[in-house]
Chains A and B, each alone.
Chain A
């Protein structure tokens, strides 16, 4: 098990290989279908400063944040997977979700020295390991707003890195 502390440096991102089992600690962002296209739109308008958070070295977990907790949704849903390439270009180093992603997405991750990791849908365990949570942008989306979580040892497996995929 490799320990990953956010923000993730270029060197740490480079060192990750598919199949690596990692424990993620620190601050991570959470968003899914509704909010990720809005963040991509801000990036394309060169207006990411409106978000109020720095995406460089960040982790984005593809999940809603509800009273029931957090858990990965399928990352290959159109709005989510299409955000991976532009948000990697914007500095996101790890996209955290579930399910196989397409070859072109794997290639785009490599071009920006970013990785894709899958996280088991272990909501109760993640609840124990979530220390803080708050909404940072688009609060009108409710549980699908952009959230910032402080986490400890979120378990994940690197599923795509350096142009290779575990699937």
Chain B
């Protein structure tokens, strides 16, 4: 059955509100486990407060954090599905409507290139003035269009890093570098415990898109050997929730390794997602 553009707008708007206001069940369980195993009383209290906040946000359908985030969209397109420009426009309209309903923090900067750089053009008072990042398209089997909405806050963007790593023909060298970056980034972030999003590709664009996909596909209950190693080693740094020390600086790592080139270099993108991220929700549009 063909979906209408209005139905797409409504589904996207609802999904954005869920992304900005709700912890997925695997994340709630990760917090419960962290609370049960945290020895530091201040750290335990912070973890409990974050989980209480998630319950309040879900009940009220209100933002988890006042930095409600920049919408990032991943669209899985089935091989038998049809995607039109009108449908993409409807997705954008749904994002705008979702931002108004959440409500998102009005933080879109107005003006020309210079004004947007130095912020002299002023703030758009409309929550929908926060435009989404370009949509990442992926091919999947079947005839569905499945949209994933992620809300990216500013703090993790400040501490994220995309850079080359000379691997010396040893995967452990790449993991060691990721751990070193993550320890520094998590300590600076403040809003820990983090979830580390990592993409490894052949270019900065590819590494960033792989990081985004890692956040879409990641699950706190399923950790690969490499993901578990990164999480465990960063937690040894004793940064803890809000930097107050403790066992849980990082709850999990979501890592995606893409195709690689014959070369001595790998491009790594690391995003130290804050205690609420990844703020994500998914919907089948058609």
Contacts and interface: CB of A to CB of B under 8 A. Distances in A.
B56 interface: yes
B102 A68 contact: yes
A137 B80 CA distance: 58
B127 A157 contact: no
A68 B104 contact: yes
A118 B242 contact: yes
B88 interface: no
Contacts, number: 104
Nearest to B68: A68
A69 B102 CA distance: 11
Interface stretch (A9-17, A46-54, A82-90, A119-127): A119-127
Interface in B223-249: 242-245
B242 A66 contact: no
B66 interface: yes
A67 B106 contact: yes
B129 interface: no
Interface string A98-133: 111000000000000000001011111101100000
Given A70-B66, A71-B65, A99-B243, A123 B45 contact: no
A22 to B, nearest CB: 11
A123 B190 contact: no
Interface residues of A, number: 31
Interface in B51-70: 52-54, 56-57, 60, 62-68
Interface residues of B, number: 40
A121 B103 contact: no
Interface string B101-125: 0111111000000000000000101
Residue with the highest number of chain A CB atoms closer than 10 Å, among B46, B57, B188, B190:
B190
B269 interface: no
A120 B49 contact: yes
A143 B106 contact: yes
Contact of A99 (B105, B106, B123, B190): B190
Given A98-B242, A122-B52, A124-B56, A66 B106 contact: yes
Given A71-B65, A98-B191, A122 B243 contact: no
Contacts of B286: none
Interface in A118-167: 118, 120-125, 127-128, 142-143, 155, 157, 159, 166-167
Interface of B: 21, 41-42, 45-46, 49-50, 52-54, 56-57, 60, 62-68, 102-107, 123, 125, 127, 155, 188, 190-191, 242-245, 274-276
28 contacts: A19-B42, A21-B45, A66-B66, A66-B105, A67-B103, A67-B127, A68-B65, A68-B66, A69-B63, A70-B66, A98-B242, A99-B188, A99-B190, A120-B46, A120-B49, A121-B66, A121-B276, A122-B50, A122-B53, A123-B63, A124-B21, A124-B53, A124-B54, A124-B62, A125-B49, A125-B52, A128-B60, A157-B242
Rank and list the top 9 A-B pairs by shortest CB-CB distance, nearest first: A124-B57, A122-B53, A71-B66, A68-B105, A124-B56, A99-B190, A125-B53, A98-B190, A67-B103
Given A99-B243, A120-B242, A125-B56, 13 more contacts: A63-B66, A66-B105, A66-B107, A68-B103, A68-B104, A69-B62, A74-B155, A120-B46, A120-B53, A122-B49, A124-B54, A124-B60, A125-B53
